[in-house]
Amino acid sequence: MPRPDLNLLVTLDVLLTEGSVARAARRLRLSPSAMSRALARLRETMGDPLLVRAGRGLVPTPRALELRERVGSLVQDVEAVLRPVEALDLQKLVRTFTLRTGEGFAENFGPSLLARVTAAAPGVRLRFMPKPDKDSTSLRDGTVDLETGVVGKATGPEVRAQSLFRDRFVGVVRQGHPLSKDEITPARYAAGRHILVSRRGLDRGPIDDALVPFGLEREIVTIVGGFSTALALARVSDLIASVPERHTGNLRAGMYSFPLPVPMPEVTVSLLWHPRLDADPAHRWLRGCVRDVCDTQRHGAPPMPQTGRSL
């Protein structure tokens, strides 16, 4: 079955509103003969005369009366879709955005982001979700609006990504810990008792691989699923936590942090979203808020003690 000409909807709407071929022609800036041909096409397409002669004028058929309001609504909806986007009014915006973030992002950047969003758009609500993997399905199906993380092989090829900041791992111990004094060498670091963070429960990680060239192996006392848990344990014990610096700035308050004494590559943390939201004004505004908050905290972060080998 051939697809109907949707332009006929506009013609039908005007004909049913005016009830006159001549007036409809003037309104659409067509000749009377062109409008008559359009009416003939509508009659053939719909299998109904629509407008019939009654004296010197035309009257709508029952089918035309049935369609009049419905067609008018359809045309208005189409015009609204095709109309240029109006300027975003943040004070009137009512919307919930779902953000899927890596562990530590909400704790460290969430307060500033919430303050910025609430001040500009009090009707906007942010929903933070944990990020147990890098699968892009939730961005693709629309259950998540924004995501933060490191772009990897599991990231969908269509996903948009914009760099937020670079992060590196640092060692963290309680104040007064032996490692908070004197130079931290690879040997001193490895000799301590360590907390390993692994979402998958693995018993070694990249830091262990980095110690191999030094002929060293660290003692892993416990394995936890997140950085906040690792820091909570290190805060009240002699255990050593190794966590990303930018993601855990607030969580490390009151503790002693130091650069790892072994070479570890930095990672780029990016903002991720699906391309269908590229031009959405509210989504674009929120992306700007996230970038600004990350940039502000990057420039406003206090310098970390440069004890040991800097990366």
- Predicted local confidence at residue 249, as pLDDT: 87
User: pLDDT at residue 30 above 80?
Assistant: yes
Domains of the chain with bracketed CATH: 7-82 (1.10.10.10), 90-165+272-278 (3.40.190.10), 169-265 (3.40.190.10)
What pLDDT, on the 0 to 100 scale, is given for residue 304? 52
Any idea what DSSP says for residue 215?
T
What is the average pLDDT across 267-278? Answer: 90
What is the arithmetic mean of pLDDT over 287-299? 86
Q: The sheet that has 124-130: what strands, in order across it?
A: 124-130, 95-101, 146-149, 267-273, 160-167
Share of the chain above pLDDT 70, in %: 93
Average pLDDT along the chain: 87
What are 206-246's pLDDT values in tens digits?
999 999 999 999 999 999 988 999 999 999 999 999 999 99
* 125 or 67, higher pLDDT: 125
Closest CA to 155 of 98, 224, 100: 100
| Interval 193-211 mean pLDDT | 92
* DSSP letter assigned to residue 127: E
pTM over 0.75: no
Q: Is the pLDDT of residue 87 over 70?
A: yes
